[in-house]
């Protein structure tokens, strides 16, 4: 009986461990919940653009006009017309998402914008922009420039940088769509990332030549 009982417990533990491993495999975003508040990892996005040169998504974080306000400037380079764009963004837990604005951007004529803040994973905002729910709606023409501003709030003492936000792999993903329905997954450039990652160093002291000794 003891052997049977031990065997049953062994099987139960093995099943539980196997189930946990499967659950871990099925949840590619699970590791994000264990990160520290200031750690927003950037996992390279799958790039897939079969038309011309590779389209690019540029992210730049700037301090806003109001106290505690931060603005994520989202710009796009594209060499083909685009009908829709989606941006899944993960942000610092001490940043609080406020709103988006298309005013004065390349998408200011877009008629449809959707903002989703899912509970899982947290601290995530997904924005979907559509020219219109009409296949004949005008697209974004080829070019480069600002397509959206995302506004956040943070404690005044919080050291926010571009490392406080990053695109993540969450359906439908970082994706641009042409008027013919062809999906494009662009490259990503986080402007200022190298500067934010560099440690603060003291400036080197200027070299001072020692006075020459007089002969005799």
Expressed as residue numbers, the domain containing 129 is: 35-196
| CATH number of the domain within which 174 lies | 2.60.40.680
- The pTM for the full model equals 0.71
- Are 39 and 25 members of one domain? no
Q: Give the pLDDT score at 45.
A: 74
Do residues 114 and 64 share a domain? yes
Shared domain for 82 and 113, answered yes or no, is: yes
Task: Give how many domains the chain has, as a whole number.
Answer: 2
Q: How far, in Å, CA of 127 to CA of 114, rounded? A: 6
Alpha carbon distance 47, 68 (integer Å): 34
CA distances from 166 to 12, 50, 52, 123, 149 (A): 40, 24, 26, 11, 14
Query: What per-residue confidence (pLDDT) applies to 122?
Result: 75
pLDDT of residue 81: 96
Give, for all 216 residues of the chain, the pLDDT tens digit: 444 443 343 334 343 334 334 444 445 455 445 555 555 666 667 899 999 999 999 999 999 999 899 999 999 999 999 999 999 999 988 889 999 999 999 999 999 999 998 776 678 999 999 998 776 789 999 999 999 999 999 987 777 888 889 998 887 789 999 999 999 999 999 887 654 444 343 334 444 444 555 554
């Amino acid at each position: 009986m003891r052997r049977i009982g031990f065997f049953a417990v062994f099987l139960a533990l093995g099943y539980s461990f196997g189930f946990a491993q499967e659950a871990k495999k099925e949840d590619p975003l699970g590791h994000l919940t264990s990160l520290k508040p200031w750690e927003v990892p950037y996992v390279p996005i799958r790039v897939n653009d079969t038309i011309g040169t590779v389209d690019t998504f540029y992210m730049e974080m700037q301090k806003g006009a109001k106290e505690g306000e931060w603005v994520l400037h989202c710009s796009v380079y594209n060499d083909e017309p685009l009908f829709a764009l989606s941006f899944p963004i993960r942000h610092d837990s001490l940043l609080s998402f406020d709103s988006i604005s298309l005013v004065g951007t390349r998408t200011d004529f877009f008629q449809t914008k959707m903002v989703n803040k899912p509970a899982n994973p947290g601290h995530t905002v997904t924005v979907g922009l559509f020219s219109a729910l009409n296949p004949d709606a005008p697209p974004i023409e080829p070019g480069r420039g600002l397509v959206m501003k995302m506004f956040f709030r943070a404690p005044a003492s919080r050291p926010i940088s571009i490392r406080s936000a990053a695109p993540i792999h969450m359906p439908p993903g970082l994706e641009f769509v042409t008027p013919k329905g062809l999906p494009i997954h662009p490259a990503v450039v986080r402007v200022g990332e190298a500067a934010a990652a560099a440690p603060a160093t003291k400036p080197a002291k200027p070299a001072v030549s020692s006075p020459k000794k007089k002969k005799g």
